[in-house]
Chain A
Amino acid sequence: MLSLHSYFLRHARVRNYVSESEVCKLESVPLDFGDYHPLKPITVTESKTKKMTRKGSTSSTSSSSSSSMMDPLSSVLDGTDPLSLFAAAADPVTTAPPTDGARRKRDRDESSAVGSDFEPWSSKRGEILARYTTTEKLSINLYMGSEKGKATTTGSAVSEKVRTRLEELDDLEEGSQKELLNLTQQDYMNRIEELNQSLKDAWSSDQKVKALKIVIQCSKLLSDTTVIQFYPSKFVLITDILDTFGKLVYERILSMCVDNRVSLPDNFSPESINDTAKETCLNWFFKIASIRELIPRFYVEAAILKCNKFLSKTGILECLPRLTAMIRGIGDPLVAVYARAYLCRVGMEVAPQLKESLNKNFFDFLLTFKQIHGDTVQNQLVVQCVEIPLYLTLYSPAIDWILQCIAYHAPDVLLTEMMERCKKLGNNALLLNSVMSAFRAEFIAARSMDFIAMIKECDESGFPKHLLFRSLGLNLALADPPENDRLQILNEAWKVITKLKNPQDYINCAEVWVEYTCRHFTKREVNTVLADVIKHMTPDRAFEDAYPQLQSIIQKVITYIYDFALLFSVEKFLPFLDMFQKESVRVEVCKCIMESFIKHQQESTKDPVILNALLHICKTMHDSVNALTLEDEKRMLAALINGFIKMVSFGRDFEQQLSFYVEARSMFCNLEPVLVQLIHSVNQLAMETRRVMKGNHSRKTAAFVRACVAFCFITIPSLSSIFTRLNLYLHSGQVALANQCLSQADAFFKAAVSLVPEVPKMISVDGKMRPSDAFLLEFLCNFFSTLLVVPDHPEQGVLFLVRGLLNVIQDYTWEDNSDDKVRIYTNVLHLLSAMAQESFIYHVDKVDSNDTLYGGDSKFLAEINKLSETVVSQILDHLKTLGKEETLKRQSQLAHYFFNTILAHGDLRNNRLNQLSVNLWNLAQKHGFADTKTMVKTLEYIKRQSKQPEMSHFTDLALRLPLQSRT
């Protein structure tokens, strides 16, 4: 039977492509581009529960450094994803498991309480910890158990024996006193964390007394003001422990109230609490009331303030004023103000509606304000070598917090009153600063001129003035001052700022005010401000210590001025960039600028100023690439540069465009994706030229197009990825063909053919090694389709490219157990049958393909036949080798594949071919590996085809093709 094969393509089916396409064309359905598109960015309309990003502008560099490309994934993330929604919904305070009924009620309750516009303590925490640090050694002093060392006789007498015995009982609990000295800040923080953990452990192992002792000892640490510059951070750490404790106690008592697994509603009344729970709760309060020292007693009671809810409705209402008054007993003003801050914080959490005690706390603070300048404090500062300005800044977090609590949803009248009170105290800078950081930005902005006047008036000694201007600037960045005052505000503020001597102080202020300037003024003012910054930061290379601030300035400028023509006309912008001399920062800044460009630039540009500047910036980014650069980083840089290249257009000035690409190639030669983009751009340019000339090149354009082709031809070899090269050769060859550059196209195709043997077995795809055959198969099929229309070179033999490719395929070392080679051969048959047609299925405009060249010459057809005979014999040989047990399945599949090819492309009126196809059919089914469903479908297809007038021979064929059942 196998001898029949040689007749195959002598009988290639004659195709009438036009009529076939009429029959086969799918009914065209107008595409609906209305609402849905799978790649369309998903917009989630639900508003994000954002934390108020007030005053957060100092270190906002990281927030926008993500990829700037319009990426559907990133825009999905812009909406609120379910996880963060969940996290936002989880209330950190009430952790009692809510039942469904309770939850609805709770939601309502909370809406009347503190809303999401209240900046929570948690967001302040990190800021404080980062800001108030020390290099000095710290110590922790813990007295677990009794206060043995301190006990001495009073006037009253207790028998020594009794006392010692009782104390011993106490000491049995745990090791008494331990003192840890010489701790670094990190050690200290670790210790505190350990204490936090041991509190939880003690609690869970039912050692409630020990837990209480730990909490008492921790809060005692707050009365210690040695290493005073660390105090705010210490406060943060220790109040964390107190919060843990408060939560544990509350939850425990709450759990005692659970009867029959029905938990309490969140707004339970004290009457619904059972006696045991009440008794336990009362016990806690009695225990705490007997704590000897004031500060621990205050903090621990404040920590479990919420538990008052179990005892009476008015418990919290009565407790808050008492605790507020209790703080008056704390002599150290710094310790006292932090105690007030803690009380305000707990108060806001537990009973936000009770504003009175918040105000009372602030007024009490004002009453004791004079203490700050008293002898006791001053002596302490001398001992610790701390300057007054530094000392005063330690107050800021606490006062800010108290004022923020007061100012939350407070009427303007109250704020005005608060301001007046502060004014009365000699217009104190510390208070003024806190007022500005805590009150609503709108409130401050509306009174900017007043504030500037107050800042000017307030006394010089103590709190640094530049901080005041900084705070004011932060407000003005958020809210707009009255139209008429704007320029004056800037002038007044900048007058002070520019006089600052210390570069750090200066840049911290300037950074904030740049935003105000960009927001309300033109490029002239921005330019002046930038010039001033340059002037201040250049001496002694001061900019080296201020990169974050400088970066933030750039970011603010490009946020407000995103018209790049305007931006680059700000004369000092580029000189400003020159200050970024550390490469990593410089690249970071360049990235920001490019991101902004890609995001905001709507139309392509040829503005020489923009091009020059951006080329320079891109060059900087490109030059940062070295052997150590991460792949991701490279990809990102390349994406940014590509984004830029795509936006450059010189319109009809194609030559200029090409020379730009040439320049870009020389600049960005280390980034392959950029080179690939350039090749595509140049190809596009060539096609654009063709479009403009409507396909008829003049001598000039022909030369230009050849220049483009040459550009591609010499650029492609410098790429490393083999498939990129192959595809680009093919693509560029097609472009060359389309532009009637036949010999150039031949060169591309020849290059591609000679590259195929180099294709490795495995290639790396997304960092994983994958076999390359699928990619090669795909490429070759694509290549064949192109080769159909490539006319033969007059000096080379007939079909020399196809032959060349077949030779390469023949010699390529294929995977031993793969059928890819045969699959390719089968596809070659498709090509050859298409070539045998009188008129090819497609053509390139203005290029004569072989059908025209040979005009169906019999010699040409004979060549095709000869080729196909070889190919068919190769296929059949291969089928024969698959006769072994383990390869029968593959044999069946290949046979079927080949059968389909003959069915589609062969002329089955030829008896021998007909016989071959029947044999293949049987072979496919022979060993029961054929998919019955497919076979049935194929048969149905044949029967259907037979109804067409020219296909009547299919009827006979169908009769000769038996269907084997699986059994």
Chain B
Amino acid sequence: MWRGWGSRAPPGHVRRCHVAHPGSREAVSRDGTMGTTLDVRVKRAGKVYRDGEVLSGVVVITSKDTVQHQGISLTMEGSVNLQLSAKNVGVFEAFCNTAKPIQIINSTIEMVKPGKLPSGKTEIPFEFPLQMKGNKVLYETYHGVFVNIQYTLRCDMRRSLLAKDLTKTCEFIVHSLSQKGKLLPSPVDFTITPETLQNVKERASLPKFLIRGHLNSTNCVITQPLTGELVVESAEAAVKSIELQLVRVETCGCAEGYARDATEIQNIQIADGDVCRGLPIPIHMVFPRLFTCPTLETTNFKVEFEVNIVVLLHDDHLITENFPLKLCRM
């Protein structure tokens, strides 16, 4: 647990994440001249699958005329992409190997042999078993800044020289299996006063305050919100805002060295203005999908999460309290 203290402008909101859930995205590969479209649809509305399940769906080909093709194939791919942040590139240029995508899963099936498809709508069903070989693990889908874990289905229709090949990609989401055993709640109580702060320059100039609270657990189920309570018992200066900052800590590297980057995922304001003293304010934060995953630790990379409670006073004093979280899927 580290504590920060500083006097500065409003807290940085690194960026908000409102990339839509892939489940809601629909795009269709279209061939301009012939009006032939290719589409991959998985069966589940949420496109969420787990290890051991069967990924099923249909490839839909729509065309006005008959379609001549050299074969249609479907590829399932899963990979981890690591990207090095700008400030670390110099250090790690030597290990460009680590930055290469790590393949988790890759299999291709030939759906249709070369030939003709009738005009109109053709639906070709498919099934892929999501089965890992050996003791490899199917990591959960995760979209971070430096670490990306993504699974896609790609359908290719090869065609003669005269017509362009058609390709359509569709992302699906993998959730890891529920962890065995019961999650032990790990409540944390905290008290923040000027005295508990670290890295303060002029402790004397600080207004007096006492903020108390607790988090119900730092071991969190990813589908359940982070909860707790916070009480401003007293504060000389007026409170301007209290926020919860969810931060991911991504570590890439290996034995030779590593890069550790912390970025904000989301920032949720739980109090706005000078709140009533002594009245418990609820702490409540939903973990965003895609941008969070169960805390992950592998030989090449790590994804961890933390939450900061940020109290901003009216004289622009900023008080931060940090709590590492452990996320898991039940």
Contacts and interface: CB of A to CB of B under 8 A. Distances in A.
A151 B280 contact: no
A154 B245 contact: yes
Contact of A157 (B44, B261, B271): B261
A292 B268 contact: yes
B36 to A, nearest CB: 25
A376 B276 contact: no
Given A151-B12, A152-B12, A279-B45, A330 B4 contact: no
Given A152-B12, A275-B46, A335-B273, A329 B86 contact: no
A286 B266 contact: no
B239 A322 contact: no
Interface string A428-469: 000000000000000000000000000000000000000000
B74 interface: no
Interface stretch (A55-63, A90-98, A161-169, A757-765): A161-169
B14 A322 contact: no
Interface string B163-176: 00000000000000
Interface stretch (B64-72, B92-100, B152-160, B282-290): B282-290
B45 A156 contact: no
Interface in B223-279: 238-239, 242-243, 245, 247, 261-264, 266-276, 279
Interface in B62-118: 85-87
A869 interface: no
Contact of A166 (B15, B245, B280): B15
A629 interface: no
A272 interface: no
A818 interface: no
A278 interface: yes
B13 interface: yes
Nearest to A282: B46
Interface stretch (A293-301, A400-408, A556-564, A809-817): A293-301
Contact of A289 (B45, B85, B286): B286
Given A368-B276, A376-B238, A147 B13 contact: yes
B10 interface: yes
Contact of B45 (A152, A158, A276, A330): A276
Contacts of A159: 85-87, 145
B271 A283 contact: no
A156 B242 CA distance: 18
Contact of A295 (B13, B86, B272, B275): B272
B280 A328 contact: yes
B279 A367 contact: yes
A292 B16 CA distance: 8
A155 interface: yes
A287 B273 contact: no
A290 B16 contact: yes
Contact of B239 (A155, A209, A331): A331
Contacts of A280: 24
A328 B288 contact: no
A698 interface: no
A884 interface: no
B275 A329 contact: yes
B208 to A, nearest CB: 15
A565 interface: no
Contacts of B20: 209, 283
A364 B9 CA distance: 32
Given A294-B271, A328-B281, A275 B45 contact: yes
A378 B130 CA distance: 64
Interface string A134-156: 00000000000011001111111
A287 B20 CA distance: 9
A274 B44 CA distance: 11
A655 B264 CA distance: 102
B13 A328 contact: no
B45 A278 contact: yes
B17 interface: yes
A167 B272 contact: no
B182 interface: no
B23 interface: yes
Interface string A181-201: 000000000000000000000
Contacts of A276: 45
B15 A154 contact: no
A325 interface: yes
Contacts of A167: 15
Contact of B145 (A162, A289, A335): A162
A157 B262 contact: yes
B13 A151 contact: yes
A331 B273 contact: yes
Contacts of B284: 322, 326
B108 to A, nearest CB: 28
A371 interface: yes
Contact of B272 (A150, A283, A293): A293
A877 B272 CA distance: 102
Given A158-B14, A289-B286, A152 B9 contact: yes
A216 to B, nearest CB: 11
A311 B314 CA distance: 40
Interface in B1-55: 4, 8-18, 20-21, 23-24, 44-46
Contacts of B45: 274-276, 278-279
B153 to A, nearest CB: 18
Interface in B310-330: 320
A550 to B, nearest CB: 44
Interface in A366-421: 367-368, 370-371, 374-376
A727 interface: no
Given A286-B289, A331-B274, A368 B279 contact: yes
Nearest to A152: B12
Nearest to B282: A325
A207 B276 CA distance: 39
A150 B10 CA distance: 7
A470 B238 CA distance: 38
Q: Which of B14, B23, B44 has the most CB of A within 10 A?
A: B14
Nearest to A298: B272
Given A279-B46, A331-B275, A154 B264 contact: yes
Contacts of B24: 279-280, 283
* B16, B238, B285 — most chain A CB neighbours (10 Å): B16
A332 interface: yes
Most buried by A among B4, B267, B272, B282: B272
Contact of B270 (A283, A329, A364, A367): A329
A605 interface: no
A156 B272 contact: no
B21 A283 contact: yes
Contacts of A785: none
Nearest to B286: A289
A158 B272 contact: no
A249 to B, nearest CB: 14
A226 interface: no
Nearest to B48: A279
A290 B288 contact: yes
Given A151-B13, A275-B46, A156 B247 contact: yes
B121 to A, nearest CB: 20
A223 B262 contact: no
Nearest to B285: A289
Nearest to B9: A152
13 contacts: A150-B13, A153-B12, A154-B14, A157-B85, A159-B145, A290-B286, A292-B269, A294-B269, A297-B269, A328-B282, A329-B282, A330-B272, A331-B272
Closest 7 CB pairs of A and B: A331-B273, A154-B12, A156-B262, A275-B45, A329-B271, A289-B286, A294-B269
Given A156-B262, A209-B20, A292-B13, 13 more contacts: A147-B16, A159-B85, A167-B15, A275-B44, A275-B46, A279-B23, A290-B286, A294-B269, A328-B281, A329-B275, A331-B239, A331-B274, A367-B276
Interface of B: 4, 8-18, 20-21, 23-24, 44-46, 85-87, 145, 238-239, 242-243, 245, 247, 261-264, 266-276, 279-282, 284-286, 288-289, 320
